[in-house]
Amino acid sequence: MIEDKSSQRTPLSQLGEFALIDHLTKDFTLNQNSSVLGVGDDAAVIKCIDENLVVSTDMLVEGVHFNLAYTPLKHLGYKAVVVNLSDIAAMNATPTQITVSVAVSNRFPVEALEELYAGIQTACNYYKVDLVGGDTTSSTSGLIISVTVIGFSNSENLVYRSGAKPNDLLVVTGDIGGAYMGLQVLERENEVFKVNPNNQPDLSMYTYIVERQLKPEARTDIVELLKKLEVKPTAMIDISDGLSSEIIHLCKRSKTGVDLFENKIPLDPQVISTCEEFNLDSTTIALSGGEDYELLMTIDQKDYDKIKGNPNLTVIGYMTEPSKGMHLVTRGDTKVELIAKGWQSF
């Protein structure tokens, strides 16, 4: 429904691989001091002075991770970068470079890739990361995008999933469940559209959650905020799957238990109202939804005064001895075992 049928369609074969790479990357400039050499040689060169290089990769597959019926390619390019930057933020590190690899079928014209790269460039500019390379190849049907991100951190600042201790506070950034509910709205409108293509969807009631789904942001700002507050989390992870599955990852890697308080989970009013409309329980959505790209961290109790009242950080529970297990404390004050029902690839 978002595709513009009147737009120009230049077949990929008209340019060929090398001209295409050149065409897509010519407007990207290098801004990081550590970017010595970018696109155009056999490999990029990144300067590393006495710091740790942090690397992460994510792959997005058409039909599995995105549906082009309601995902504009520009948003997809932006999101493909953001989901990677989020992983670097979750290490408490700063992203500096990306590489982008695409497998694309001749179903896509050059203009489609231009859109994709416009989104990638918007993300690069906003987050001040440099595109320094990638790969371009053909696929028999769908579109596949793989982004690798490189970041830096000195050893003192790096935060792993494994550092949580009993009594540490469990803290989440922003609010959660929005991306999943945005997806529910988009899926519903897409079904309506399939039946009646003249029906233009009215998404004005759902702007926040649709944006959470189509244009998520990476919380690189939190890395800066924590530095400013002089707080180093004891453990951290980004919320790509549901909250419960990420909490369980932290507990398992750190060998702790957890008490998570249902009434503390931050939810946007639009998430609550849309859950009511869809007859879904908002706690279940927060626990099992996904794609929010917020950060989940544990913080030593002694740092509580430093984070207290900060609108970006919500305390939702605390870590316990491993023998206590992993629990959700409900609004009715009963304890139920936390289980992972997040997004599963297989």
User: Where does this chain bind ligand ADP (CB under 6 A)?
Assistant: 21, 25, 39-42, 100-102, 131, 133-136
Does the annotation flag 168 for ligand binding?
Answer: no
By a kind-dependent CB cut-off of 5 to 8 A, residue 190 interacts, out of Mg ion, ligand ADP, none, with: none
Q: Which is nearer to Mg ion, 99 or 234 (CB)?
A: 99
Q: How far is the CB of 201 from ligand ADP (least distance, A)?
A: 32
Q: How far is the CB of 161 from ligand ADP (least distance, A)?
A: 30
Task: State how far the alpha carbon of 334 is from the alpha carbons of 262, 316, 330, in Å.
Answer: 10, 16, 5
Does the annotation flag 117 for ligand binding?
Answer: yes
Site string for Mg ion, 197-236 (x = CB under 5 A): ----------------------------------------
DSSP letters along 99-161, please?
EEEEEE-TTSBHHHHHHHHHHHHHHHHHHT-EEEEEEEEE-SSS-EEEEEEEEEE-TTT---T
Helices (H), the chain: 12-15, 17-25, 73-89, 110-127, 178-195, 207-214, 220-229, 243-254, 269-277, 282-288, 304-307
Q: Report the length, in residues, of the chain.
A: 346
Amino acid identity at 302 = K
Q: How far is the CB of 16 from Mg ion (least distance, A)?
A: 14
Q: How far is the CB of 135 from Mg ion (least distance, A)?
A: 4
Does the annotation flag 134 for ligand binding?
Answer: yes
Q: Do the Cβ atoms of 122 and 267 come closer than 8 Å? A: no
Single residue of 135, 187, 221, 321 touching Mg ion by CB under 5 A = 135
Q: How far is the CB of 133 from ligand ADP (least distance, A)?
A: 3
Does the annotation flag 42 for ligand binding?
Answer: yes
Closest CA to 316 of 273, 283, 271: 283
Instruction: Extract the annotated binding site for substrate.
Output: 65, 291, 343
Q: Would you tell me which residues interact with Mg ion (CB under 5 A)?
A: 135
Residue ranges for the known binding site for ATP are 117, 134-135, 161, 240
